[in-house]
Amino acid sequence: MKDELPPSLAKIADDYEDKLDQEAGRNKTGGNKKPGRSTLPSHKKTDQHQQKLRHYKAKLILYKQLQLNFSNESFKHPHQRQLSILNYAQWLQENVIRGQIDITKEMQKNVETKRFASKQGPGGQNINKLATAIRLTHLPTQLTVKYKKERSQVQNLSGAQKNLQEKLQQHLELWIECFPTSFSNTPAEITPQFIENFLTQKPLPPKIG
C-alpha cells in the first residue's frame, strides 16, 4: 500500500500524533520517570508502531464507509441490506486475490452509468443540451464519481473510468493494509458475516503505553 493516505486520513494521523505528544507531556510531570531520561515514547518512532497506526487509520476509514453504505436506514427491507452485503463480500473476495482493479471488468459487471447535462442556465434550463457529463456508481462499494470536464461524452466516460479505478484501488488497498496476511492467503474468510462483524466493532487507536 502507498505510504500516502487520503486527505481524510491526514487529520486522523495529526490528531493521533497530538495525543501521543500530550501523553508524553503528562509523563514528563508525572513523577514516575527517572530524572534526566527522555519521556517521549520510544515506540513512536518504530516501524511497528507506525504500522499499527496505519492499520488503525485504514480500519477507521473502512468502518465509516461501510457504516454509511450498509446502515439500516439505507434500505427499505432487511433482505436488501443482506443482499448488498453479500455482493460486497463477493466482490472483495474476488479482487483481493488479484490485488488490482480491472476497470473493464468492473464496467461490464458492477457499474451503473448515468449521463447528464453538465450546465444549467436561468430557470434550470440546460445550456448544454447534450448529456455529455458522466456519473458512475460502483454498485458493490457504492463509490461514485462524476466527470464533466470535456465536451465529448466519450472523453468524459474515459476520465470517469480512470477516477473510479483509482478510488476502487484505494478502497481495496485499505483492506489489504488492515489484513495483509489473512486476506492474501485465505480470501474465503471474507464472508457476509465477516463484514457484519467488522461493522459492529469500531476500531480503537493503538495503545500508547
Beta strands in 79-132 (DSSP E): 111-116
Query: Is residue 176 assigned to a domain?
Result: yes
Phi, psi (5° rounding) for residue 120? -130, 145
Give a yes or no: residue 175 inside a domain.
yes
On whether the CB atoms of residues 113 and 138 are closer than 8 A, the answer is: no
Residue 177 lies in a domain: yes
Q: What is the pTM of this model?
A: 0.72
**pLDDT confidence bin for 42, thresholds 50/70/90:** low
Residue 81 domain boundaries: 77-120+127-200
If one compares 123 and 110, the residue with the highest pLDDT of the two is: 110
| Domain assignment present for 32 | no
Maximum Cα–Cα distance for the chain, whole Å? Answer: 75
pLDDT value for 177: 87
Is the Cα torsion angle 79, 84, 88, 90 positive or negative in sign? positive
Is position 8 within any domain? no
pLDDT digit string, tens, across residues 52-88? 888 899 999 999 999 999 999 989 999 999 999 999 9
Number of domains in the chain: 1
List b or e across 45-84, with b for residues whose CB sees 16 or more CB atoms inside 10 angstroms. Answer: eeeebeeebbbbbbbbbbbeebeebbeeeeeeeeeebeeb
Parallel, antiparallel or unpaired: strands 143-147 and 133-138: antiparallel
